[in-house]
Amino acid sequence: MDFDIDTETAHSARIYDYIIGGKDHFPADREAGDAMCREWPALPVHMRANRDFMHRAVRHLAREAGIRQFLDIGSGIPTSPNLHEIAQAAAPDSRVVYVDNDPLVLALSRDRLAGTPEGRTAYLEADMRDPAGILAAPAFRTTLDLDRPVALTVIAIVHFLLDEHDAVGIVRRLLDPLPSGSYLAMSIGTADFAPEEVGRVAREYAARGMPMRLRTDAEAAAFFTGLDLVDPGIVQVHRWHPDGTGTVVERDEDIAMYGAVARKP
């Protein structure tokens, strides 16, 4: 099957893949990633710490919270271990629906997202700005059972939603149909800790057609209104249930992402 992939224009998922050491990127993505790292040398540490947070959050949800269903929004280029690998290592019967709108992600996902025989993984090409379309899609409906709790994971993506997109409303419309006992796990871009450096990176993204909306701690908290936060609440991603593995973070200023997990009453 042919996919219409624009290799001449940098894409956020491929920039991320390049910076964390992946292999699915093109010269435009590498140029952009190098420019951003010159502006903020801590960017690779920041991005890897974000991915480590996803691993810990999913492991917690599968092991401690007993979640067996995951809806991953803005899944990005598959980089092992992927979300389903983390979840199914803890609970082989876990089911995962990945959602992204990059054709390259779609192409790669079909080859790389095979899960355990007991579980199931599906990939849905869709835009998170269309929650109704996601929730009505056959891949969603046939994979996840809305009579059982679902973990909605929204990792490192809402900073690409501007004020006019109503990011909080989008997340709420995805969460609302999920039953009581479901969870929301998010990481949310911020300039609270290194405003000048992160601001320069944001300008590099914007110059390539990817404007960003970075959020304060109070703005991050708005995503979790009405939910029960898991301790320690909303913190920088490297401070959420650290386990001594993964990326070493020496300074809080090197992390520009809040992370939290919360239960829907």
Instruction: State the pLDDT at residue 109.
Output: 62
**What is the domain count for the chain?**
1
Q: Which class for 199: exposed (0-12), middle (13-18), buried (19 or more C-beta within 10 A)?
A: middle
4, part of any domain? no
What is the rounded CA–CA span in Å between residue 104 and residue 25? 9
Residue 5 included in any domain = no
Using 50, 70 and 90 to split pLDDT, how confident is the model at 2? Answer: very low
For residue 110, pLDDT over 80 is answered with: no
Q: Is 53 a domain residue? A: yes
Mean pLDDT calculated for residue range 238-257:
96
Q: Which of 145, 142, 76 is nearest to 112 (CA)?
A: 76
Q: Mapping DSSP to helix (H, G, I), strand (E, B) and coil, where does residue 146 land?
A: coil
Query: Over the stretch 211-227, which tens digit does the pLDDT of each residue have?
Result: 999 999 999 999 999 99
Q: With respect to residue 3, please indicate whether it lies within any of the assigned structural domains.
A: no
Tell me the average pLDDT of the chain: 93
CATH code, domain carrying 121? 3.40.50.150
Instruction: Write out the residue range of the structural domain in which residue 23 sits.
Output: 12-263
Amino acid occupying residue 95: R
With respect to residue 55, please indicate whether it lies within any of the assigned structural domains.
yes
In a domain, 94, yes or no: yes
Residue 162 placed within a domain: yes
Percent of the chain with pLDDT over 90: 80
Which one, of 136, 152, 137, lies nearest residue 227 by Cα?
Answer: 152
